Structure 1
Amino acid sequence: MTDKQSEHYPYKSEARGTVPLQDGAADAAVPAGAAPLWNRNFRLFFVARAAAVFGEGTVPVALAAGLLGAGHSGSSVGYALGAWIGPFALFVVFGGVLADRFTARRMMILADVLRLPGAAVLAVSFTAGSPPLWAVYTLTAVSGVCAALFQPGVASTIPRIAPDVQRANAVLRVVESLMTMAGPAVAGLLVALSGAGAAFAANGLTFAVSALCLGLTRIPAAPGDTAERGSLGSEMVVGWREFRARSWLWGVIAIWTVYGLTVAGPLVPLTATLVTGEHGSAAYGVLMAVNGAGSAAGGLLALRLRPRRPLAAGAVALLGLPVNLVLLGSGASVTVLGVGQFLGGAAFAFWLVMWSTSVQTHVPQDALNRMHAYDVAGSLLMMAAGRALAGPVAEAVGTEAVLLAGAGIAVLVVVALLVVRPIRTLPRV
């Protein structure tokens, strides 16, 4: 850690001390170095994240079943999902500022509570018949705004409740991978048995579980929580300065915008189109399950390995992604594609744990929500643009050509991450 980083890392001098509690906490302060990972706060947060990710996985299935079942076109499903992602991308930076101002815990609970009525209305509406499209779009847009209020707090909560940040991120990555697979599967079963309304009801239940668990947590306070805050505009400016002051941080995000636009964005729609067209929808479902299993394996690997240079190790692991792209673009069999999907899922999960841990341990707590919001907003916007451009470009040059070009770009992304010295040499905290 450089001297500049030491000045901006308020927990460094308190790493083995005690931390006071906020939000009405009654529990005694615990020495951070001695606390086990599975303490009360982490158990509650673990359940909250599992419920939230499970609920997110039910939404696309519920929207598709409900809208298509009501006789609407397939484009209506895309518009409904777009009505969620657009407000999310636009408001997530404001969500980061608000989380730093009012604490992440309060903003996450508020977001869950605000999403409950919308999920309930959709559940009742689809059970009773077919709600008008404008109502579906409006409620999904409101849900997107609430998600923007919720998401920044995830990053800042983990280092406050877990003495071992990397291990906590790895454990959460494993359960999130499992819930990503379980959510759509359970939603499909609920739709088959009771209709789309039941899937929306399950989605609403996950918001209630998440809000309850977060309400029961007692999050330790951080230096700066009680500091006087400026206006929202000035807080955004301060957050931007903190962002620019860390070359490794904005360097990774700048490189990742290229990756999102040219690789990660096109990968999902092109994989779905290619695999479904050549091998059928059942094969595509199996491959997505294999990808999820690979993601869980990557999280488990991150539990065991503790590299001294986490971003460098994560960058090397990302070489599993171009392998997946090459196999997709070369017409491999389903069995071989499964190997690629497993490698791709494991590689991406390992990188995410290394990246999340680096951000959460090197960025000061009083700015962490805003830093995470900038990261999410930039990545999400470029991935959305990549998905929108994937179809027209694939029609012009061929799906296989786009995937193979993406493999080459993915390798260059790894090279760029390793060449930039602040990224390559960033140490563990």
Structure 2
Amino acid sequence: MLGDTMLPVALSAGLLSYGYSAGDIGLVMAAATACFAGLVVFGGVFADRLNARALMIGADVVRVCTQSLAAVLFLTHRVRLWEMVVIAVVNGTCAAMFQPGVASTVVRVATDVQGANGTTRTAESLAAMAGPALAGMLVGFVSPGAVFAVHASTYLTSAVCLIALRLAPLPPREKAASTFRTDLAEGWREFRARTWMWSVIVVWMVYMVCMVGPFTPLAAGQIITGHGAGSYGLVNSSLGAGTAVGALLAIRLRAEHPLRAGSLALFATALMPASVGFGLPVPAVCACVFVAGTGSAYWGVNWATSVQTQVPGDILNRIHAYEVAGSVAMVPVGQALAGPAASAFGTRHVLLAGAAVALAVAVTLLSVPAVRGLRRTP
């Protein structure tokens, strides 16, 4: 997470320094996200059929190589947009192989799943606070290439930690050997059978394309151009601080209806695009982003815990892959359309529309009985 939260600052500042636009930044981000969203379902089947940990380690090793290459390109001043898109495609594919194993790994090391998710999210958020600020300093005093070099080292650290991690043994699969296609279809059937899950994902797709997707490239263009990379790093650090607080709250405040409580917290996320859209001063943007991060993290911990505790372990990786794919499938669409939409309607209008969508999403989730009524698993 330290490296991943440094990346938007380095990528945005680096590409802008070469004369590329916010739309180009969105294109590179969309390339990674599209590959992730399109392939994570297959990664879920591989994780259930093969060794999830080995798959995760392999994905980390490949990303050590790609981010090292990106570092060399920036440090030698030979950056071309198509090269960054190719690197993003490889990184997105690796992320698709890595992510499905996360859900089952948490369950295998934790007896208190919500506490584990809250603790993990807090640790990630602390890294997210430090990451953008560190990236801003490295970009300012060295170059974006230095950030990519650090990012490569974080993937190496991840692989080493995964190798050393002690995991409980996996339970044997109850059924006879099946085909890849059968496992894929079974995951889809189990996903569709849970109304609370697929209804959240349908709503989330709108949220991704209208708010989350456009926010990063448009906010980067607004803040970096107007206030510098350091200010953008500070805003991202505020988001990390907010998510840390939200995760800690989720450890302490365990609602009987977790998705209902999480949906209420989502109202706060509208502050994130609204603050940039209204052109507030950087300190005010930081405060709004902090509150938005708190609400987002509280929802995220409750959602992750619901998935991990409501779904049987033998299909968890596949179900997790389907819900992750649905959650991020529209992000690349939003990222890719961010530039054209900003050109047609104005950056601030697109951001304010995203804020309105965030409010509508929270209202819609609360209106779905299966989401509102889901009870916490003891």
Q: Same fold (TM over 0.5)?
A: yes
Contact 2:235 2:285 in 1 (8 A): yes
Q: Measure the CA separation in 2 of the matches of 1:270 and 1:188.
A: 18
Give distance in 1, aligned partners of 2:56 and 2:368: 35
Report the CA distance shift for 1:130/1:332 in structure 2 as closer, same or farther (over 3 A).
closer
1:408 correspondence with 2:349? no
Give the one of 128, 144, 168 matched to 1:220. Answer: 168
Which structure is higher in RCO with an 8 Å CA cutoff and minimum separation 6?
2
Contact 1:222/1:365 (8 A) holds in 2: no
C-alpha deviation, 1:328, in angstroms? 4.4
1:26-425 superposed matches below 5 A: 53-63=1-11, 73-74=20-21, 78-124=26-72, 126-127=74-75, 130=78, 136-191=84-139, 195-225=143-173, 227-275=175-223, 282-425=230-373
Larger deviation, residues 211-220 vs 332-341: 332-341
For residues 270 and 319 of structure 1, the distance between their equivalents in structure 2, rounded to whole angstroms, comes to 21
Displacement of 1:193: 5.3
Gaps of 5+ in 2: none
Q: Distance in 2 between matches of 1:249 and 1:214?
A: 29
Secondary structure in structure 2 of the residue aligned to 1:177: helix
CA–CA distance in structure 2, aligned partners of residues 410 and 140 of structure 1: 27
**Post-superposition offset of 1:351:** 0.4
Q: CA deviation at 1:77?
A: 5.2
Residue range with higher mean Cα deviation, 202-211 or 320-329:
320-329
Q: Residue 38 of structure 2 contacts residue 329 of structure 2 at CA under 8 Å; is this kept in 1?
A: no
Q: CA deviation at 1:136?
A: 4.7
Amino acid aligned to 1:153: G
Q: Which has the higher helix share?
A: 2
8 Å contact kept, 2:33–2:331? no
CA contact (8 A) 1:166 1:354 kept: yes
Question: Structure 2 vs 1, CA of residues 137 and 322 (structure 1 numbering), >3 Å: closer, same or farther?
Answer: closer
Q: Tell me by how many angstroms 1:330 deviates.
A: 4.3
Answer with 1 or 2: which has the greater Rg. 1
Unaligned runs of 5+ in 1: 1-52
Tell whether the 8 Å contact from 1:101 to 1:229 is kept in structure 2 after alignment.
no
SS in structure 2 of the partner of residue 319 of structure 1: helix
CA distance, structure 2, for counterparts of residue 176 and residue 413 of structure 1: 25
Cα displacement (A) at 1:163: 0.9
Residues 340-366 of structure 1, C-alpha deviations (whole Å, 9 max, x = no match):
222111100110001001001101112
CA distance in structure 1 between the aligned counterparts of 2:205 and 2:158, rounded to whole angstroms: 31
Distance 1:336 1:196 in 2: 27
> What is the total number of aligned residue pairs between the two structures?
376
Change (3 A) 1:57 1:425: same
The C-alpha deviation readout for 1:204-234, integer Å capped at 9, x for no partner, is 2222211111111222234454754422222
Whole-angstrom distance in 2 between the partners of 1:103 and 1:260: 31
Residues 313, 133 of structure 1: alpha-carbon distance in 2 compared, 3 angstrom cutoff? closer
Which one-letter code corresponds to 1:267 in the other structure? F
Q: How far did residue 299 of structure 1 move?
A: 1.1
The one-letter code of the counterpart of 2:294 is A
Matched residue SS, 1:212: helix
Q: In the superposition, relative to structure 1, how do residues 396 and 84 fare at CA in structure 2: closer, same or farther (>3 Å)?
A: closer
Distance 1:268 1:82 in 2: 11
User: Cα 1:284–1:57, aligned 2, differ >3 Å: closer, same or farther?
Assistant: closer
- Of 148-157 and 261-270, more deviation after overlay is shown by 261-270
C-alpha distance in 1 between matches for 2:8 and 2:274: 28
Aligned residue type for 1:340: C
Root mean square deviation of aligned Cα: 2.9
SS in 2 for 1:221: coil
Report percent identity of matched pairs: 46
SS in 2 for 1:426: coil
